[in-house]
Amino acid sequence: MDLRISILIPTYNQPLYIKRSVDSALAQDYPNIEVIVSDDSSSDDTKNILEEITDKRFKYIRNNPRLGRVENYRTCLYKYSTGSWALNLDGDDYLTDPHFISDAVNLIESFNDKNLVFVQAGGYLIDKDGSKTGQRMPKIKTEHCIVSGKQYVCDFAKKRRFLHLTSLYNTATAKSIDFYRYDILSTDLESFLRLALLGNVALLNKNVGVWFQHGKNTSSSSSINKKLENTLWIDSVCDFALQTKTLTKFKANIWCYIVKQQELTGHFMVEISESKNRLKTLWWIFVHYPATFFFPVFVKKLIGYNFRQLLG
């Protein structure tokens, strides 16, 4: 086990959670790790909290001036990381399995696959009250397996299984495709699906971390316009699949349509449920995104929502 692993923790004003995140990284039993916090000019006690950590594997870096969320991701990878493999752990998330990195490295070495681009395990979504609100787990029947990146991307249209914080990736390959290149909500997803198209993915059938949902997460607190702009990641992955000739134009376009409509359906149902004038909201959706009204999942949810409203 001589692979060097970088656990990168970009953070900004997360004093209630950052120590837990760092402790979970340092608790990993794999010996050859570095844990790097990139503090994006926090205006709170983050620096004082982390100065108490004396572990030699830990490094605290403060950006000045502030870079922003995505640029902080990029800086962690391109400037601060020294590992051949890396894990990005946001400052409000944490690992729960101290064997995760060891297990992932064992998979990397046992498969001995030069085309392996990342190893992914599962994790829970937990809210601030400690309740489990969801789970993202690789859909496999065995303890672990390896799949082609093409298959991984195609399967994504059926069921989203991705978690940023449980995905250990090859840094050299990631850098070669301009990782975290777009300043959008799902810059991680855009990057990892492009990465998958360059090789194979190892899947580990176990929960190893927590995506902490506290109401101030960037994804949940963003405006509808930001969420709509975020669908750029889908077009980007589709274009990359065509550039690399991983998917045919027909398959890429079908994939793009299904995934985009899944995203829009989720966003629009939230907007409809929270709207004071639902007819006006529906009309706006129809005018600007008419294709969504031909998407079966949206139609089914819309009908089910209306029935619940009548019964309620």
Over the stretch 111-156, which tens digit does the pLDDT of each residue have? Answer: 999 999 999 999 999 998 889 999 999 989 899 999 999 999 999 9
- What's the distance, CA 226 to chain centroid? 17
* Helix H or strand E segment including 20: helix 18-26
For the chain, the average pLDDT equals 94
Q: What's the confidence (pLDDT) of residue 312?
A: 46
pLDDT, greater one: 91 or 305? 91
The pTM of this model reads 0.93
Q: Tell me how far apart the alpha carbons of residues 60 and 37 are, in angstroms, rounded to a whole number.
A: 5
E strand segments, 67-199: 85-88, 94-95, 116-127, 132-136, 144-148, 167-170
User: What percent of the chain has pLDDT above 90?
Assistant: 85
Q: What's the confidence (pLDDT) of residue 234?
A: 98
Take residue 152 and report the two structure tokens written for it: 């991984």
Q: Convert the pLDDT of each residue in 9-44 to its tens digit.
A: 999 999 999 999 999 999 999 999 999 999 999 999
Eight-class DSSP state of 183 = -
Q: What's the confidence (pLDDT) of residue 217?
A: 62
Eight-class DSSP state of 240 = H
Q: What's the confidence (pLDDT) of residue 265?
A: 96
Which of 107-121, 169-183, 212-226, 235-249 shows the lowest mean pLDDT across its residues?
Answer: 212-226
Nearest to 145 by CA among 229, 204, 79, 103: 204
Q: What's the confidence (pLDDT) of residue 311?
A: 47
- φ/ψ of residue 122, rounded to 5: -105, 175
Q: What's the confidence (pLDDT) of residue 214?
A: 81
Q: Convert the pLDDT of each residue in 245-292 to its tens digit.
A: 999 999 999 999 999 999 999 999 999 989 888 889 999 999 999 999
CB distance 302 to 271 below 8 Å: no
Q: What's the confidence (pLDDT) of residue 128?
A: 87
Q: What's the confidence (pLDDT) of residue 160?
A: 84
Q: Convert the pLDDT of each residue in 65-89 to its tens digit.
A: 999 999 999 999 999 999 999 999 9
CB distance 77 to 48 below 8 Å: no
User: What percent of the chain has pLDDT above 70?
Assistant: 95
Across the range 162-172, mean pLDDT stands at: 97
Does the structure show a pLDDT above 90 at 159? no
- The one-letter amino acid at 201: V
Q: What's the confidence (pLDDT) of residue 125?
A: 95
- φ/ψ of residue 84, rounded to 5: -80, -15
